[in-house]
Amino acid sequence: MLKKTMICTALASLLAGCATPALQPPAPTELVPASYQHAGAPAAHDLPRQWWRLYHDATLNQLVETTLRDNPYTQVAHLRQIAAEAQTRLANADRLPQLNAGVGFSNSRTSTNTALGQILGHQTISGDKITAGFDAAWQIDVWNRVGYAVAAAKAGVAAEQAFARMVEQTLSWEVATTYWQYRLAESDLALLTDIRQQRAEAESVQAGRFDAGLSSELDLARVRLELKNADVEIEDARKRLSLAEHELATLTVKPVAAFSVPRDAAYRLPDVPAISPGLPASILRQRPDLAQSAQNIRALLAQKEIADTAFYPSISLTGNFGFASMELHNLTNSDSRQFTLGPLAISLPILDGGRLRANQKIADARYQEALNVHKVQLLIALREVDDALTEVESCRTQAGLLDAALESARRVSLLAKARYDKGAVNYLEVTQAERDLSTAELKFRRNQLKGLLASTQLVYVLGGGWQDEATPTH
């Protein structure tokens, strides 16, 4: 009867322990607004997984995809997923009995100077003993401790999957932002080279006029000053170009000396694509850092449940089966069999110096801490989206204003040169007009860069693209 009770208890515990509890920590939905402040009409978040293809730049596509393939952080993310999945299998292993096989040999002799030896008339017992068999042990998961451990491990797997998405998101963002900075430096260098050529020609003309006594030395000094200023700005553009190229080399895991971005003197920065941020509620699953935080909360909730069940008794069942004989040829005979079922042991903590209560408080505090940190992360994420939307809209507005300012600067430069040729003004007015023109052109291009960086930042704070299909390259 006792044997049947033990077997039924074990089977019931096995069935109960096979279930993994569903852990659903509270979601901070009260912090999520109905829409973003600076978004247009609500629309679905439709960014493709390969969001960088929205810019239709073959070089950018190649750089991003090379980085995602070759950068060591991609492999680090993969290895972390492997370790997390192995941790899940390790936790699952505690659901089942542990079975070990063993063989042994011993030779023994009893003492004649013991009570047993006196009873045997100062005789000894000696001989060989050969054993072979199996030992089994099972920690019966009545309170679902193993189930909670498995749930925590599965949350760890999901957290590492989110980390892998975070690595992809961060690497692609870093490549895109560095690439735009490279292209702007390249564009600035081409523009400043043209400006320097114009100032060099102006310097030659002014030197001729000065030699002929048609202009003052002050006019010649001014044009030479502007020429030197152009040289300084050209050197700064070259430095920015080199630094951006070095950063791209590092991201794509190439030696700096063996890497270069294809130069294109006619390159024009692309237009900023229209990006819909979707509804704020979707950011909880789109942002990999928030997804990772949510999974960490689930793992901590499971650890909290494990700490709560530590006050309940632990139940274990052991047993063995095998053979024992003094002679090897009799080892597998039926008379050599030996087995034990049990004991079915129950252990209940009584006095532990407050250790279990302390562990319970630690687990609960860590869980509550993670909940509050998650709320802060969510608020920051929502603010970052609104910030990026504001920046994108501001750059679009400024683009029109700067384009009009550039046209005005070009007109002023033409008028100043015409007035100077007629002798109506000195060369200072021409110099100032040309400086204003170059400043307007640089501001216009810098605003283009700001718009691209803002759109890339918007993609980043939205969590990157989530559709599996890629947008075709046009």
CA-to-CA distance for 187 and 449, rounded, in angstroms? 11
Q: Where are the beta strands (DSSP E) in 266-424?
A: 314-325, 337-347
9: pLDDT strictly greater than 50? no
Q: Contact at 8 Å (CB) between 13 and 141?
A: yes
Q: What does R_g of the chain's alpha carbons equal in angstroms?
A: 38
How deeply is 59 buried, as exposed, middle or buried, from its count of CB atoms within 10 A (0-12, 13-18, 19+)? Answer: middle
Share of the chain above pLDDT 70, in %: 91
DSSP string of 315-351, one letter each residue? EEEEEEEEEEESSGGGTTSGGGEEEEEEEEEEE----
pLDDT of residue 40: 64
Element (H, E) at 232: helix 217-251
Class of domain 21-95+142-313+355-462: mainly alpha
Q: How confident is the model at residue 109 (pLDDT cuts 50, 70, 90)?
A: confident
Q: Contact at 8 Å (CB) between 131 and 264?
A: no
pLDDT in tens, 270-315: 888 888 888 888 888 889 999 999 999 999 999 999 999 999 999 9
pLDDT in tens, 37-65: 777 665 566 688 899 999 999 999 999 99
DSSP string of 68-125, one letter each residue? HHH-HHHHHHHHHHHHHHHHHHHHHHTTS-EEEEEEEEEEEE--TTSHHHHHTTS---
Q: Contact at 8 Å (CB) between 45 and 463?
A: no
**Stretch 400-412: mean pLDDT:** 90
pLDDT in tens, 365-391: 999 999 999 999 999 999 999 999 999
- Token readout for 3 is 């044997």
**Stretch 392-404: mean pLDDT:** 91
What is the phi/psi pair of residue 431, to 5°?
A: -60, -45
**Stretch 331-337: mean pLDDT:** 88
pLDDT of residue 39: 72
Instruction: For the chain, give every domain's residue range.
Output: 21-95+142-313+355-462, 103-140+323-347
**Smallest Cα–Cα separation from 161: which of 292, 51, 70, 283?**
292
CA-to-CA distance for 25 and 22, rounded, in angstroms? 10
Say what angle helices 427-462 and 355-421 make with each other, to 10 degrees: 150
